[in-house]
Amino acid sequence: MTVHVPPQGEAPTFHHFIDGRWVPSATGRTFESRNPADRRDLVGRFQAGDAADVARAIMAAGDALPGWQATPAPRRGEILYRFGALLAERKEEIARAMTREMGKVLTEARGDVQEGIDIAFLMAGEGRRLFGDTVPSELPDKWAMSIRVPIGVAGIVTPWNFPVAIPCWKMMPALVTGNTVVFKPATDTPHCATLLVEVMAEAGFPPGTVNLVTGTGADVGDAIVSSADVDVVSFTGSTAVGKRIAETAGRRLKRLSLELGGKNAIVVMADADLDLAVDGILWSAFGTTGQRCTAASRLVVERSVHDRLVAMLAERAASLRLGPGLDPGTEVGPLINEAAVEKVAAYVEIGRQAGAEVACGGAPVRDDDLAHGSFFAPTILTGVRPMDRVAQEEIFGPVLSVIAVDGYEEAVAAVNGTRYGLSSAIFTRDVNRAFRAMRDFRTGIVYVNAGTIGAETHLPFGGVKETGNGGREAGHAALDTYTEWKSVYVDFSGRLQRAQIDNQPAGDEPGAR
């Protein structure tokens, strides 16, 4: 494909969105976003925000809170519904913009936007539910119930790999429950964020309920996380950054949701349907160029089928077509940037040094049409041991480390033997073993006879151990991040009833006799 390369001056300049208006940064500085499939293609210039911009956005979000909270939740839900419908109308345009800005192939970019639409509709429905409990009181003529209340201003800090889905996962539950939002997208995907907020504005979110500030983590993200006026923060990104955010937020006892690293494994037992396993492994390891939190980066395989499976995988992986994601024939797009190419290459070298063999790929691809992009060949490393660095550290690229094991127990030990715990999968035809895996794999998500990617928006999404801090996105579990519980007791007896005292007949307390 030939990418149209406009003269640099032609690229548009985009703005922050604060209090319902598109505004420049106080710094007057901008930064560029470029197409990772061809860096000559400049997507646009974006405001390099700083603490002053964040302060304006937080103030707008704070001012919008009373009006938004006074809006009945079903009405808020209707705006979410409108947003979902408008996003569906603009799906193709936004998917194309996404592929251009961050590289994933067009079919996957459409899926990313679709995930945003799905969560918008799911959360629109929550506007009519937001269930609490109504329970009997231990006293006569008294009611007891619990209701959800919003927390306040939500700071939303998101990654580039799902530039529509993940901001929607966070903003939709935050907004339907009555919080207002300050949104800081990744510096690699400010255009996707701008388009998303454009649709939100059109859907009718009132001024100040959604504010967008673009810029770096150091300038914008830190200002959001450390602000006394941001009440809840939701972050998806690396475990290292997540830990720093947790320290800062912890000092203020701020509500915090973290979705961090993964080192997801697929187990293939000897009795598995190997053709199906190959499809699932390729999709999970090399889909989105391996840049999903849920990507399979380890394959744990029973030794008796190891050589056959590796041969099947290597043949298919080597024939995957690399290219710009807008080309219909492309199966694997570029990595997000050159730093990612260097990181992935460094890990392949680390694997080699530790004794792994490269069954396919192993290097950046810079031929002809791909010379101006950040391409890396789908890579399979064999002979990896469970504690090797390539089996322990998140690479976030198209690298699959293969670990051979003798039997199920050893497979479980390998799956669970990392500091992460997001997603896992087992391929087997033995139903008993499938159920054991569902019980034994210590991850927030487990797949049976499917790869590790492709979570749906109506179930909780998140992981255990250093993958997060216990919260979950998506499903109705997401509401817990953005609400506090308020327990309400209504006494209509007309007299003072003392719980735990008046409900015990005098002298009849348990243990009194």
Nearer to ligand UN1, 208 or 444 (CB): 444
312, two tokens:
């099947």
The verdict on 420 binding ligand UN1 (CB under 6 A) reads no
Answer for which of 157, 453, 478, 479 binds ligand UN1 (CB under 6 A) is 453
The verdict on 257 binding ligand UN1 (CB under 6 A) reads no
Closest CA to 335 of 306, 309, 364: 364
The verdict on 455 binding ligand UN1 (CB under 6 A) reads yes
The verdict on 256 binding ligand UN1 (CB under 6 A) reads no
Which residue is it, tokens 């889909």?
A: 287
- Shortest Å, Cβ 60 to ligand UN1: 28
The verdict on 162 binding ligand UN1 (CB under 6 A) reads yes
157, two tokens:
């800090």
- Shortest Å, Cβ 237 to ligand UN1: 9
- Out of 101, 115, 192, 293, the active site residue is 293
Residue 381, strand partner residues = 358, 401
293 labelled catalytic: yes
259 labelled catalytic: yes
Query: Segment near ligand UN1 (CB under 6 A), from 31-39, 64-72, 335-343, 452-460?
Result: 452-460
Nearer to ligand UN1, 224 or 422 (CB): 422
- Could you give the CA distance from residue 197 to residue 253 in angstroms, rounded to a whole number? 29
- Shortest Å, Cβ 320 to ligand UN1: 18
Q: What residues have CB less than 8 Å from 330, skipping those under 6 apart?
A: 105, 321, 322, 323, 324
- Could you give the CA distance from residue 437 to residue 449 in angstroms, rounded to a whole number? 11
- Shortest Å, Cβ 54 to ligand UN1: 24
Nearer to ligand UN1, 264 or 330 (CB): 264
Q: Are 361 and 380 in contact (CB under 8 A)?
A: yes
- Could you give the CA distance from residue 126 to residue 476 in angstroms, rounded to a whole number? 8
Nearest 10 degrees: Cα torsion 342, 345, 351, 356:
180
Nearer to ligand UN1, 236 or 257 (CB): 236
- Shortest Å, Cβ 450 to ligand UN1: 11
Kindly identify the residues of this chain, within the stretch 356-395, that bind ligand UN1 according to CB under 6 A: none
5, two tokens:
């390369």
The verdict on 132 binding ligand UN1 (CB under 6 A) reads no
Query: Is residue 15 classed exposed, middle or buried when 0-12, 13-18 and 19+ CB atoms within 10 A define those classes?
Result: middle
Kindly identify the residues of this chain, within the stretch 112-131, that bind ligand UN1 according to CB under 6 A: 115
Q: Per-residue string for binding with ligand UN1, 285-304, x by CB under 6 A?
A: -------xxx----------
Kindly identify the residues of this chain, within the stretch 174-213, that bind ligand UN1 according to CB under 6 A: none
- Out of 101, 108, 126, 259, the active site residue is 259
- Shortest Å, Cβ 151 to ligand UN1: 23
- Angle, nearest 10°, between helix axes 73-89 and 91-102? 70
Buried b (16+ CB within 10 A) or exposed e, 284-317: bbbbbbbbbbbbbbbbbbbeebbeebbebbbebb
Query: Segment near ligand UN1 (CB under 6 A), from 11-19, 410-418, 450-458, 502-510?
Result: 450-458
Q: Are 270 and 238 in contact (CB under 8 A)?
A: no
Nearer to ligand UN1, 128 or 419 (CB): 419
The verdict on 460 binding ligand UN1 (CB under 6 A) reads no
User: Dihedrals φ, ψ of 28, to 5°?
Assistant: 75, 0
What does the binding site for ligand UN1 look like in residue numbers (CB under 6 A)? Answer: 115, 161-162, 236, 292-294, 453-455
Catalytic residue numbers, as ranges: 259, 293
